[in-house]
Amino acid sequence: MVDLKTLDQMQEDELPKKNKKGPWTPGDNPLTITSLMDALTIILIFLLKSYGSDPMQVPQKKNELMVPKSDTMSNMVECVDIQISRTTIVVKGKKIVGVNNGSVSSSDTPDGFTIKSLKDALDEIRQKEIEAKGAAAGEQAFQGDAFIAADTNIPWKLVNQVMMTCTRAKYIRFSFAVVKTRGG
């Protein structure tokens, strides 16, 4: 006689066979994590390299500070960094003055060119730099390099005001931050 089984019965019969070994336990077959370790170590080295290659960081923030693109191949060196975003001017990570519609308020620029609070901050940084190297030698060794990272949509007038203020604080050479479009 043929034993006829329904589909459900056949599935029930098969189920215990599949789980014959029972649930996995650490003692049965230890997890091999050596290959995972290799992958993580490579990622870590890559990230550490990209973290420490540039002397200064320029945070890219949408609608705040997007540095323009350029085909330059020159690399930055460490110097005083000034960030001109759509809302603030920041010197060495410290907020100095607010920006509204691409300009600073007239009370911050008494003569129309020099941004007073920016000049005070730059004077202080310059003084500290000179003192760190010793007064006489420091004055000689002071290079007067400033690194300006400005947003693409900032009008030239504001960048020019920052540059003029820098010049008055004896920072006379400028490097503009750009996003490289070709390697080097």
Partner 1 sequence: MAKKKMAVDEKLDELNLMPIMNLLCLLIPFLLLSAQFIQIGIVLVDTPRQSKSQNQKKDENQKSLGLTINIKQDGYDVTTKSGGSACPQRAASNQVCIPVTHAGGKKVYNSSALRKFLYDKFYKPHYKNNSLDSSKDAPKAAGSFSDWGKVTIVPEDTILYETVIETLDAARELPPEAKNEIQDIKGGTLACVFKKKPGDKEWQLEGNCMFPLVAVGRP
Residues of the shown chain interacting with partner 1 in the complex, contacts defined by CB under 8 A: 30, 33-34, 36-37, 40-41, 43-44, 47-48, 50-51, 54, 56-58, 60, 67-77, 143, 147, 150-157, 159-160, 163-164, 167, 172-180, 183-184
Residue 2: CB minimum distance to partner 1, A:
54
| Token couple for 82 | 């000034």
Measured distance CA(59)–CA(83) in Å, rounded: 9
Whichever of 3 and 71 has its CB closer to partner 1, that residue is 71
Residue 69: CB minimum distance to partner 1, A:
8
Whichever of 69 and 92 has its CB closer to partner 1, that residue is 69
| Token couple for 159 | 């960048």
Residue 116's Cβ-count burial label (10 Å; 0-12, 13-18, 19+) is middle
Residue 114: CB minimum distance to partner 1, A:
14
Tokens 């080097």 correspond to 184
> Virtual CA dihedral for 142, 162, 80, 176, nearest 10 degrees?
-110
